[in-house]
Structure 1
Amino acid sequence: MWDNHQALRGLANALRLAALAMLLYAGGFWLVHSPLFPVRSIYIQGALKRVTPVQLKYIAEHELAGTFFTLDIDKTRAAFQKLPWVRDAQVRRRWPDALFITVEEHVALARWGENGLIDTNGEWFDAASDQNLPVLIGSAGSEKTLATALPKIQQALSRSGLSAVQVEMSARGAWRVELSNEIRLELGRDDVEARARRFAEYWKGNLAALPYKIEYVDMRYPNGFAVRMPDYKGTPAHKTKP
């Protein structure tokens, strides 16, 4: 081999290429990790109502680590998502030293029992709120179903002038609604919106005029409804046909 000049030239070229590659790698490694390329500017974007500048500043100062090149985008995104009202955060670099972070907040729709909130996407999140929100009650995994149904039930009740302050779905899929005037509305498992709409019509036409305190209205009857009035001196339950 040592007498083969062509092979020796090939070996020398290969060694030179390897040395050049190692030099480029070392230079690139130094460039990427060099403190000469810090993140100097952080820009926060998004319609923020609940997330405060103090919270964002704390995350920026205590959770972000690395240079412009080495900063971990996924970890940075996760750091901002730790904030209670942050639903999502998108992070992107902009040369030479800027970081742009777009923050999406949760929009609270209701309270989830006594533990946390439900947003308009049907997602549970743990945050404090002083808003006057209806309460949703259901089994684990039913959050989205209840969140989807709530606006429809509210719309169905709108003609009555009443609103739902609590909506509950049992493990068997039966719906119960507590109204703003403290009446309990039993809607059963089927045709929930139609039954709520039917109640609204009867409320404006008949029920609101009754001179008794109404405890609950049961709309599960196909051709009528039952009304529980504790002050009524007749039968315990007053059944009415339209």
Structure 2
Amino acid sequence: MWDNHRALGSLANFLLLASLFMLLYAGGVWLVHSPWFPVKKIQIDGALRKVTPEQLKYIAAHELSGTFFTLDIDKTRAAFEKLPWVREAQVRRRWPDTLEISVVEHEAMARWGGSGLISTQSVWFDAASDAKLPVFYGPPGSEKEMGAMLGQLRAALAPSGLKPAVLTLSARRAWRVELDNGVKLELGRGDVLARAERFARHWKGSLAALGYRIETVDMRYPNGFAVRIPDYKGAAGKRTQITAGATR
């Protein structure tokens, strides 16, 4: 082989090309990791109402690391999505030194008992709000079901002028609604919306005209409903608790 000048020439050319390749690769690695390409600008877009500039600045200062080329996009996105009100964050590089971050916030639809909020996408998230929101009480995993029912009950109860304030779903999938005037509706299982619509039809015409504080209206009867009026006084003048009925 050592007497074969052609083979030696080919080997020398191969070694030269390999050396050049390794040199270019090492130079590229050094260039990518060098401080010559820092992220100098962070541009944040989105209609932000709950996420504060201070929170975003804190994430940028403490969670972002690396150069323009080495910064971990997925890790950066996850860091911003840890903020309580952030539903989604998208991160993009823009040459030569800018990081673009688009933030989408949660929009609260209801409270989940005494812990966290439910978004308009029926997703639980851990945040606080001073807004007046309906409250959900239900089994774990029922967020979407309760979110859908809230919208349907609002439409069904609209003729009464009343709105759901507390929505409860039992483990047996029975529904109970407390309205914004304090009246509680027992809607049970099955024809829940039909019962709510029947209540709405009778509220202004008969129930609201009773002249007493109504505590509960049980709509689970097939052809009527029962009304609980704890402050009603009987014929003897004593405070009693009665049940009143009404037909279709």
How does the TM-score come out when normalised to structure 2? 0.93
- Mapped to 2, the partners of 1:16 and 1:206 lie a distance apart of 98
Work out the percentage of aligned pairs sharing the same amino acid. Answer: 66
Residue 220 of structure 1, CA deviation:
1.4
Which structure 1 residue ranges, 5 or more long, are not aligned? none
- Matched with 2:187 is 187
RMSD: 1.4
**Residue matched to 2:9:** 9
Partner of 2:44: 44
CA displacement 1:52-102 (0-9 Å, x = unmatched): 111111111111111100111011111111111111100000000001000
Q: Shift of residue 240 of structure 1?
A: 1.7
Partner of 1:197: 197
Q: How far apart are residue 211 of structure 1 and its match?
A: 2.1
Deviation at 1:180, TM superposition (A): 1.1
Counterpart check, 1:107 vs 2:113? no
Deviates more, 1:112-121 or 1:2-11: 2-11
Contact 2:90/2:102 (8 A) holds in 1: yes
Deviations 1:170-197, CA, capped at 9 Å, x for gaps? 1111110001111110111112222212
Amino acid of the structure 1 residue aligned with 2:62: H
Q: Structure 2: where are the runs of 5+ without partners?
A: 235-239
| Structure 2 partner of 1:238 | 244
**3-state secondary structure, aligned to 1:18:** helix
Counterparts of 2:47 and 2:5 in 1: how far apart (Å)? 71
Query: TM-score normalized by structure 1?
Result: 0.95
Rounded to whole Å, the distance in 1 between the matches of 2:177 and 2:244 is: 19
User: d(CA) in 1 for partners of 2:51 and 2:141?
Assistant: 27
Counterpart CA distance in 1 for 2:222 and 2:18 is 84
Say if 2:86 is the partner of 1:86: yes
Matched position secondary structure for 2:226: strand
In structure 2, the residue corresponding to 1:206 is in which secondary structure?
helix
> Displacement, 1:121?
0.4
| Aligned-partner Cα distance in 2 for 1:194–1:20 | 79
How far the C-alpha of 1:9 sits from its partner, in A, is 2.6
2:237 is matched with none
* Equivalent residues, number: 242
CA shift, 1:3, in A, is 2.7
Aligned AA for 2:245?
A: K
- Asked if residue 125 in structure 1 is aligned to residue 125 in structure 2, the reply is yes
Superposition map of 1:50-69 within 5 A: 50-69=50-69
| 1:14 Cα offset (Å) | 2.1
CA distance in 2, matches of 1:10, 1:76: 48
